[in-house]
Structure 1
Amino acid sequence: MKNEIDGKQILAVYEKIIQHGEATDEGKFYSGLTAFSDIDGYTIYLKGSGVLLRFGFHNTYHLDYEHDKHKDDFLKKLSNILNEV
């Protein structure tokens, strides 16, 4: 999983969702993904398709998911949003 996603890509998708997403109780929702951050803003999250991506200091991230299909679907949504940026 390490280095499968570039930190700049994560940030670009996060910004796109924050700017163009619809406000929900969890954060902003856009194209199947929800973006939000912790209180201090140092850690950002992308959530969707049964996956939670946590991105923080030093461009490190962690993906939480139960099945590879969830991860694959999440990465496809990430890629689709990146293609819009």
Structure 2
Amino acid sequence: MEHKVDIQMVLSAFQKIRDNGQQTEEGFELQGVEAISSMDGYSIVMKDGHATLYLNFHNTFQFDSDTQDHAEALLHQIEEIDRNF
């Protein structure tokens, strides 16, 4: 699956989830998207119930989802969080 991801937007949304979301066992959740940071801070995970976005060191990323639609829906949710918070 080929995706274009605005890394700066994802990082901005990640911080907004941390600032405005509810704490979970692993990270913070806002509007159905959970944001998790690695212990060393070099990678983050953004996930909903259907897809996971891994953002790694040097701005590399990978989606894990059953369908491209699920990955696109997660990316849309992340964009909405960045836009609205």
If the length of structure 2 is used for normalisation, what is the TM-score?
0.88
Shift of 1:73: 1.7
* 1:1-85 matches, cutoff 5 A: 1-2=2-3, 4-85=4-85
Structure 1 runs not aligned, ≥5 long: none
Mapped to 1, the partners of 2:68 and 2:29 lie a distance apart of 23
When the two chains are superposed, the root-mean-square deviation of aligned CA atoms in Å is 1.3
Amino acid corresponding to residue 84 of structure 2 in structure 1: E
Query: Does 1 or 2 have the higher relative contact order (CA < 8 Å, sep 6+)?
Result: 2
User: Aligned pairs, how many?
Assistant: 84
Runs of 4+ more than 3 Å apart: none
Tell whether the 8 Å contact from 2:52 to 2:71 is kept in structure 1 after alignment: no
Mapped to 2, the partners of 1:59 and 1:42 lie a distance apart of 10
Identity over the aligned pairs, expressed in percent? Answer: 30
Show CA shifts across 1:52-73 (max 9, x none): 1111111111110001221122
Mapped to 1, the partners of 2:61 and 2:53 lie a distance apart of 7
Structure 2 runs not aligned, ≥5 long: none
